[in-house]
Amino acid sequence: MEFKSHRWLWRLTMVVCFLASLTQEACGQEALRLSLAGDAAARANREATATIGYYNLLLGRTAWRFSAGLSAEYDDNVRLQPQNPEGDFIFRPNFNAQMHRPVTEKNSLDISLGVGYSEYLQHGDLNQFYINPGSGFSFDIYLGDFAINLHDRISVTENAYENPGVNSNNGNNARLENAAGASATWDLNKAVVTAGYDHASYMSLGSSQSQPDGSSENLYVNAGVRVRPEILIGVEAGGGLTSYDQSSSAAVLPDMMQWNAGVFCQAQISEYMSARLDAGYTVLSPAGTASTNLNMGDTADYYFQFSLSHRVNQFLNYTLSAGRSTDFGFFGQAYSHYFARLQPNWNLFRKYQISTPFAWEQGSQTYNQAADFDQFSMGINLGRQITKKLSGSISYQFVEETSSQAGLNYMVNILGLNFSYQF
């Protein structure tokens, strides 16, 4: 069996995850995070648009795909309170559209938009429009050995537990994020060089919290050599500046400069397994001073991120990522964290799809070591194709966060029912 033939790789993966869980500090870099996120988005876009039958409407030279959905959800702690949680029913109608426009034989424009509205039956102050991650446009240009991508990605998130360490009690934590930029890859078969730039903007949309708006400029470059057709190794570097709206009462940090340098290895281990490892050194440097009583200064540490995609057999495939990183938090605070995320997908029954995601994070605010947090989440999703155009799913998610700061501990259980109609 294929699983037996890769048993040693599976054991190695478990060892990596175990070692990741033993680490005590975390630090990474924003430029690499945006670079990896951009690579993942581009890869997902290519896979989706290459699928036969992905589009269901042709208008001139454009191909379109439309879908609409409705989800009903019960959340037993909508304000993420440590005591006396308040539950509510939430209805979320949504609409999704994708467009593919070939410009030349090789160049193409892709646009995707997923929007919706969350209606709370009892907590109207939490009602919120949202934009799904992955929305935006991507323009691919191929010139000889060069592949150039111009992009703009936008999202509006509303769930506070997506930002660990957030003081979310009694507040609407919706935030808009937009990243626009360009990347270019020079592929010489044996050698590959990639460089890119992103301008990211962050804007608070919450009605009862005061979070600072901000923006960041990020540059990154990596160069790799194929030591074997299936193995690419190389070096990477990046840097940037994150700026906060200092007029906001929530601004607790000065502007922040960062840079990183490291190495990476990307391997297609088998037809059904691929992996990537990034590791290196990163530095954060506050630029000037801000209205804060925190002990500010340069911080430096190492980062790593390991990711694995594996199709075990016809019944199971999964993705795994683990590492340590530094991200810029919801209130302008940089926080160091280590994490592990596992997404198994089970094909045990005909016409049914089952997934059982798991995630864990542990970290602390970089300039306030007393603000530590642990977050654990797990869930199950059962989906089925009801008719040719209608699909449905039921889901359950559990999230628990513990913090060294009083009042930030919480548990939440979420039960959902979702229907989606493909036009």
Q: Comparing C-alpha atoms, which of 422, 412, 414, 420 is closest to residue 90?
A: 414
Q: What is the pLDDT of residue 7?
A: 45
pLDDT at position 245, please? 76
> Cα(207)–Cα(203) distance, rounded to whole angstroms?
12
* pLDDT at residue 255 in the model: 79
User: Is 60 exceeded by the pLDDT of residue 10?
Assistant: no
The model's pTM: 0.78
Q: Which of 230-239, 241-250, 345-354, 399-408 has the lowest mean pLDDT?
A: 241-250
pLDDT at 238: 93
Between 131-135, 256-260, 386-390, 409-413, the lowest mean confidence (pLDDT) is in 256-260
Query: How distant, in Å, are the alpha carbons of 8, 56, 149, 402 from that of 100?
Result: 42, 11, 15, 44
Query: What DSSP assignment string belongs to 44-111?
Result: HHHHHHTSTT---EEETTEEEEEEEEEEEEEES-TT--SSS---EEEEEEEEEEEEEEESSSS-EEEE
Q: Please give the single-letter amino acid code of residue 215.
A: S
Neighbours of 340 (CB within 10 A): 19
Q: Which of 390, 387, 316, 314 has the alpha carbon at shortest distance from 346?
A: 316
**Mean pLDDT over residues 397-403, rounded?**
92
The domain that holds 230 is classified in CATH as: 2.40.160
DSSP code for 207: S
C-alpha 134: how far from its chain's center?
10
Q: Which residues contact 149 (CB under 8 A, 6 or more apart)?
A: 38, 42, 138, 139, 140, 141, 182, 183, 184
Categorize the per-residue pLDDT at 222 as very low, low, confident or very high, splitting at 50, 70 and 90. very high
- On the question of pLDDT at 187 being above 60, the answer is yes
Distances (CA, A) of 361 to 64, 294, 377: 38, 24, 9
CA distances to 192, 215, 325, 417 from 253, rounded to whole Å, are 38, 13, 19, 41
Please write the tens of the pLDDT for every residue from 250-290.
Answer: 545 677 888 899 999 999 999 999 999 999 998 888 876 55
Angle value at C-alpha 416, between 412 and 420, nearest 5 degrees: 145
The number of folded domains in the chain is 1
Beta strands 146-157 and 368-385 are unpaired
Q: Is the dihedral of CA 54, 57, 60, 62 positive or negative?
A: negative
- Does 388 score more than 50 pLDDT? yes
158 DSSP assignment: -
The domain in which residue 15 lies consists of 2-422
Per-residue pLDDT at 8 exceeds 60: no
Of 369 and 122, the structure prediction assigns the larger pLDDT to 122
Contact 136, 152 (CB under 8 A): yes
What pLDDT digit, counting tens, does each position of 29-75 carry?
Answer: 455 555 555 555 555 555 555 443 567 788 888 889 999 999 999 99
User: Which has the closest alpha carbon to 204: 239, 163, 164, 241?
Assistant: 163
Q: CA-CA distance, 35 to 196, in Å (whole number)?
A: 8
Quick one: tokens of 6? Answer: 């890769």
The predicted model gives 109-127 an average pLDDT of: 93
